[in-house]
Structures are given as C-alpha cells and as structure tokens.
C-alpha cells in the first residue's frame, strides 16, 4: 500500500463503500465486534417481527388454518427457492428442511442406492478426515446401518478418509460410490475448487455431495454450473437464519425422479393427505423432505435471505477477501512475535470467508477476546477462528479487533483464570 495502514485510512475506505450500509440491516449488541457469524449469524432486522407474527397472529389467531392461509405448507420450498438463487440452483431444486446432518444422510443414502443399481461394486463413501465431524459420523452411521443389518459376508460399505486433494484424486477408483466434501473447511477456511473437483469425481464414476455449511452466503456458488449432484448446508451461519434454523438440501433436477432417500416421511409422499398405507415418493425435490418443520424457526430465515439477495454476492466476496487480507496483514504486523500461526490459505481462490490462526494458548486467548467484546471462537486443536461477514463487518472493525488481540497478547491477559468459557456450536 502506498498510504500507511491506519484506522483512519480504513475508516475512509469504509465511508466510500456501499456494502457498509448493510450493517444497518442487523441488530448487533453495543460494544461488540462479532467475528463468529460463521457459527451463528447476526440478527437481521425484521426477524423478530416475523417471529412475533408467526406466534401471535398465525399460530395464536389463525391456529390450524394457518397451514393454508399463512402459507406454512409452502415455506420449505418457497424459502428453498429464494436460497437457491444464492447457490446457482434452478427453481424447484432446493428445500429447507431438517438439519444438515440429516440432509447429508438422505443424500448419501440416495447416492449409494443409485450406484447399487449401476455399479454395485461401488461401496465406498469417501470424505475428509478434517471434515466437520458430523459429516463423518453420519456417513459411518449409514454404512454401519446397512452392514450391521445385512446377513451377507464379504465386502461391506465403508467410509474412507482422505487428507488432501492429492489423496482424494488417488482414491477415486472403481470402489468409490460417493464423495462428501465440505466446500469450505470449518476449521481452516480452505476451499475446494468445486468445478474441478466435481469433474474429477464424475470422471471416476462417483457422485458428489457438497456440504455448503461454511460457504452458502459467504462465497459465490453455482451448483448447476459445477454439475454437482447434491448439496446440503445450514442457514444459521452466513445466511443469518437464527439459532438452529432448518438446513437445506439441493438435488440436481436431473436426478429428481430417479433418486430415492430412506427418511421417507409423509412430507415426501406424492399425495400426503390421501393417507395411503404404502409409500409413493413425490417426483420432485419434495422427495427429500420428511416430517413437519419448526414453523417459527423456519419463517425467520426469510429476513436474512432477503438481505443476502439484495446484496451483490460478488461484492460480498470482494469485501470478504479484502477484510481477511487485512486481518492477516494486521496480525502479522501488529501481533508479530506472539506466536500466532496462520492456518488459512493466503490464496484467494483457496479460501472461504473465515480466517484461523494456531496458538498453543488459543483457547485462553479466545476466552479473553470474548470477555473484551471481540467474539471469535475456538476449535480443537489450538485454533482461533474468526468469521468475516462483510454484511455487518467493516475495515475499522477488523482494525479494532486485531488491536484488542494485540493488547491481550501484550499484557498476557489471557492467563487470567476466569477465562474458562466453553466452546460454542460450529
């Protein structure tokens, strides 16, 4: 940079940035710099009003009638279509329902069944050792279910873990049925090249499921352009849907009539109100639904989606890259010598929208930061993680956060005993 990097120079850049105005669309607490929007996004204005409307009017006054009159029945697909516009989805390809973990189970089971018909020797689910653990656990649960209930001996379904793209490519042999990858890694922030990796997986004869939990709303995504098979993800991180808001599942339209999934609740039935005594799946994305959704938590998602759709995703991404670059530069200049080691890739194309550092006292440092109003989070082992959400973070926020980090490191404030908060949810 030609001008020296100061808080004032950053404030000038903020003042000229149209995206900064989106900060007014959120209610954030005073005195807090929130760097954990990759774990739980901030409260959009309008969400509290929407919740009150659902509870007081639609539930309280409309009662059961609101399933029709307030559009509750349509919400999973209507909101799914809105969300889909951020994913490169076509209308009718996305549903908001259940949790990310459950949606991954549906996608993996569906992929295994399709492979069973075409290529029965493909019985491996390939995923990342460094994936968010629930993705590994649910794959293991699925394989274990089939293996344990089957009477057969011999080759069983298996979950294999890879540690790098080179290992992934080497592992793509004729035994692999499906590959489940997190587009952006929950800990490191590193990002797969969705187009190239999808193509490599398809070339090997396998199917792919992308977990977009740390990507949706954070980076530009085009699932159809990448020709992906399935995607799942959550709405409570960069999409600001609220705590535990229902997750999404996307299935490429070319698969809708063919693919089957085993969590075949009545919402996935072709005619749920006929009350038939045998299951006939819907011939569209409804096939990937299951049971009745939590209406209040579901309805609130719309407030965050509307803000995200108003923003220019390319501009969000540009700001995210700039803010992460700034964070790294400030840590490496103003916190030099304190032992923080960058974990996140520097290369723009190889990272998402959070930035992580390793430090042997990472846990205590994060606890001290939170105590001082700079909210990041901690991930085993030794990782300090900071979510960068350009819709409500500015350059001066980044400056102030790193200054607080510097002060804590400089004064050894993190050694104080009271810093014993427990980890938050990813």
Identified binder of a second copy from the candidate list 10, 22, 36, 185, rule CB under 8 A: 36
The pair of structure tokens assigned to 181 is 């990858």
Q: How far is the CB of 113 from a second copy (least distance, A)?
A: 6
* Footprint of a second copy on 367-396 (CB under 8 A): 370, 375, 377, 379-380
DSSP string, 183-225: SB-TTT-BB--HHHHHHHHHHTT-EEEEE-TTTTTTS---HHH
- DSSP reduced 3-state for 357: strand
Q: How far is the CB of 186 from a second copy (least distance, A)?
A: 9
Q: How far is the CB of 314 from a second copy (least distance, A)?
A: 27
CA–CA distance, 229 with 176 (Å, rounded to integer): 15
Per annotation, catalytic residue among 122, 237, 286, 395: 237
Which residue, 146 or 318, is less far from a second copy as judged by CB?
146
Per annotation, catalytic residue among 236, 248, 386, 392: 236
Which residue, 47 or 331, is less far from a second copy as judged by CB?
47
* Footprint of a second copy on 181-220 (CB under 8 A): 187
Per annotation, catalytic residue among 36, 81, 98, 211: 211
Which residue, 146 or 350, is less far from a second copy as judged by CB?
146
Which residues belong to the annotated binding site? 100-101, 132-135, 211, 214, 236, 266, 292
The pair of structure tokens assigned to 304 is 């965050």
* Cα within 13 Å of Cα(268), Cβ side: 24
The pair of structure tokens assigned to 121 is 């020797």
3-state SS, 76-124, equals HHHHHHHHHCCCCCCCCCEEECCCHHHHHHHHHHHHHHHHHHHCCCCCE
- The verdict on 350 binding a second copy (CB under 8 A) reads no
- The verdict on 413 binding a second copy (CB under 8 A) reads no
* Footprint of a second copy on 110-169 (CB under 8 A): 112-113, 116, 120, 129-130, 132-134, 136-138, 140-142, 144-146, 148-152, 154-155, 157, 161
* Footprint of a second copy on 300-319 (CB under 8 A): 300
51, 300 in Cβ contact below 8 A? yes
Q: How far is the CB of 1 from a second copy (least distance, A)?
A: 32
- DSSP reduced 3-state for 33: strand
**Number of residues this chain uses to bind a second copy (CB under 8 A):** 110
- The verdict on 99 binding a second copy (CB under 8 A) reads yes
- DSSP reduced 3-state for 2: coil
The pair of structure tokens assigned to 312 is 């220019």
- The verdict on 283 binding a second copy (CB under 8 A) reads no
Residue of 258, 259, 263 lying closest to 247 (CA atoms): 263
Which residue, 138 or 194, is less far from a second copy as judged by CB?
138
- The verdict on 285 binding a second copy (CB under 8 A) reads no
| Strand intervals (E) in 145-294 | 158-162, 176-182, 207-211, 230-233, 248-251
Residue 211 annotated as catalytic: yes
Identified binder of a second copy from the candidate list 22, 34, 210, 248, rule CB under 8 A: 34
* Footprint of a second copy on 51-70 (CB under 8 A): 51-52, 54-56, 58-61, 63-68
CA–CA distance, 266 with 274 (Å, rounded to integer): 10
Residues in the chain: 426
Which residue, 1 or 422, is less far from a second copy as judged by CB?
422
Q: Taking contact as CB under 8 A, which single stretch among the options 105-113, 202-210, 356-364, 407-415 is the one that binds a second copy?
A: 105-113
Residue 385 annotated as catalytic: yes
CB burial of residue 137 (10 Å; 0-12, 13-18, 19+): middle
The pair of structure tokens assigned to 302 is 């719309």
CA–CA distance, 54 with 56 (Å, rounded to integer): 6
Identified binder of a second copy from the candidate list 277, 347, 417, 418, rule CB under 8 A: 277
CA–CA distance, 74 with 320 (Å, rounded to integer): 33
Residue 132 annotated as catalytic: yes
CA–CA distance, 73 with 81 (Å, rounded to integer): 14
Which residue, 118 or 347, is less far from a second copy as judged by CB?
118
Identified binder of a second copy from the candidate list 91, 243, 346, 360, rule CB under 8 A: 243
- The verdict on 2 binding a second copy (CB under 8 A) reads no
Identified binder of a second copy from the candidate list 293, 319, 320, 396, rule CB under 8 A: 293
Catalytic residues: 132, 211, 236-237, 385
């Amino acid at each position: 940079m030609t001008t020296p990097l100061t808080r004032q120079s950053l404030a000038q850049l903020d003042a000229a940035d149209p995206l900064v105005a989106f900060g007014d669309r959120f209610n954030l607490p005073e005195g807090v710099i929130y760097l954990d929007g990759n774990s739980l996004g901030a409260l959009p204005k309008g969400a509290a009003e929407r919740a009150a409307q659902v509870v007081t009017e639609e539930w309280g006054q409309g009662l059961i009638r609101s399933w029709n009159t307030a559009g509750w029945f349509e919400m999973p697909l209507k909101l799914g279509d809105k969300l889909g516009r951020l994913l490169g989805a076509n209308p009718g390809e996305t549903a908001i329902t259940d949790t990310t973990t459950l949606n991954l189970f549906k996608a993996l089971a569906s992929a295994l069944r399709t492979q069973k018909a075409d290529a029965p020797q493909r019985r491996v689910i390939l995923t990342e050792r460094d994936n968010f653990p629930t993705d590994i656990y649910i794959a293991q649960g699925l394989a274990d279910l089939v293996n344990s209930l089957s009477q057969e001996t011999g080759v069983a379904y298996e979950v294999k873990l890879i540690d790098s793209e080179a290992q992934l490519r080497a592992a793509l042999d004729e035994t692999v049925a499906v590959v489940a990858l997190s587009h952006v890694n929950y800990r490191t922030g590193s990002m797969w090249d969705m187009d190239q990796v999808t193509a490599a997986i398809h070339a090997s004869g396998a199917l792919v499921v992308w977990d977009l939990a740390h990507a949706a709303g954070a980076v530009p995504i085009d699932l159809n352009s990448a020709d992906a098979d399935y995607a799942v993800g959550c709405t409570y991180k960069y999409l600001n849907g609220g705590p535990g808001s229902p997750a999404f599942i996307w299935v490429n339209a070319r698969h809708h009539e063919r693919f089957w999934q085993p969590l075949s609740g009545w919402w996935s039935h072709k005619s749920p109100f006929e009350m038939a005594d045998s299951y006939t799946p819907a011939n569209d994305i409804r096939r990937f639904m299951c049971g009745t959704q939590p209406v209040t938590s579901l309805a609130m998602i719309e407030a965050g989606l509307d803000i995200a759709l108003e923003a220019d995703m390319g501009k969000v991404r540009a700001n995210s890259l700039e803010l992460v670059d700034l964070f790294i530069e400030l840590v490496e200049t103003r916190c030099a010598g304190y032992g923080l080691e960058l974990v996140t890739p520097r290369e723009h194309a190889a990272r998402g929208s959070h930035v992580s550092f390793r430090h042997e006292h990472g846990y205590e440092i994060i606890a001290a930061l939170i105590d001082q109003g700079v909210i990041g989070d901690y991930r085993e082992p030794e990782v300090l993680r900071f979510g960068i959400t350009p819709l409500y973070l500015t350059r001066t926020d980044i400056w102030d956060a790193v200054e607080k980090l510097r002060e804590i490191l400089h004064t050894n404030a993190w050694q104080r005993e009271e810093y014993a908060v427990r980890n938050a949810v990813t």
